[in-house]
Amino acid sequence: MLKQQPLLQEKQSTVQNANCVVMVPPKEFAFNAETAKDNEFQHQVSQSTNEVRIAAMQQFNDMVASLRKAGVQVVEFNYPAGKVETPDAVFPNNWFSTTANGELYTFPMACTNRQHEVKTDALVEALQSSGRLVSSQDTLTEYLEQDAFLESTGVMVKDHINKTVYAALSQRCDREVLEDYAQRIGYDRVVSFQTALPSGKPIYHTNVMMAIGESFCVICDEVIPEFERRFVIKSLAKDKQVISISLEQMNNFCGNILQLETINGEKVIAMSQSAFDAFSPAQRAQLSSHGKLLPFNVKTIENIGGGSVRCMLGEVFLPSRHKQL
């Protein structure tokens, strides 16, 4: 049966957008000093931990309700608490990914306290309870022994239609692990590149600087060295409308957006209110031609966690027994 999967994958690989997402409630949310070492988007605040969690939970609940109202299936993964708190668990897209063949992959994350977010058995149970089929599992966590990391769709932005993975190399995105994963899922091309912020540090996650939809992409190309930038843009522009954003817009999470589909096949684009406000009217009009814009206020999560709406959405491409919200 496993030998037949590549044929099924070939048939279904043209699906760019998921119509189902996993979201994790921020019940242990807090400023994570461990991730802040290379995440310049995080900020400490004077509010108490309890105040932060109340605000984050309200923003999370509002986002879940709005996505469901729009017609996107949301699997709330209210994960079992462990001995170690997981302040970044609200960003599940960093530790797992799924395929239309029913495969679930788990990944090696760079920060020790984030490695405790990986709760595969509980996630499989939640997915299957929601009517999604997990037929096989694979993991790249053995790379932890080599101090090599790959933080799933945080560091990989996938063009499923063209079987291409785009990735900004960093401590959290090891080239060897990246190429191993691409080979496992049968993707033909890996476009990896360097980045540099004004501080000189690389982008910690590719998905804060770029997003790929079915026929568009958003990218902060100014952080890519010029000799690589031309190649990346040329590759994207073959069949995508390229929407370039500035460094300031990237800092407002304009790159951290995600095109999804409703259960009726309608296109929507999830983003934060910060990102929506930072896009120019012309850019909002361009994006609107690719789907209804769904802005969410996740300011607390953005400011303290250093990630936005896209980071909060773990795409589910798994086969479905039935349609369910």
- Give the burial string for 188-198 (b: 16+ CB within 10 Å, else e): eebebbebeee
pLDDT of residue 47: 72
Each domain of the chain, given as residue ranges in start order, spans: 2-315
CB of 198 closer than 8 Å to CB of 171: no
Q: In the CATH scheme, what is the code of domain 2-315? A: 3.75.10.10
CB of 108 closer than 8 Å to CB of 75: no
> If you write DSSP's letter for every residue of 33-69 in order, what string do you get?
TTGGGT-TT----SS-HHHHHHHHHHHHHHHHHHHHH
Q: Encode pLDDT of 231-277 as tens digits.
A: 999 999 999 999 999 999 999 999 999 999 998 999 999 999 999 99
pLDDT of residue 53: 87
Q: Is the pTM of this model over 0.85?
A: yes
Q: What is the DSSP letter of 163?
A: T
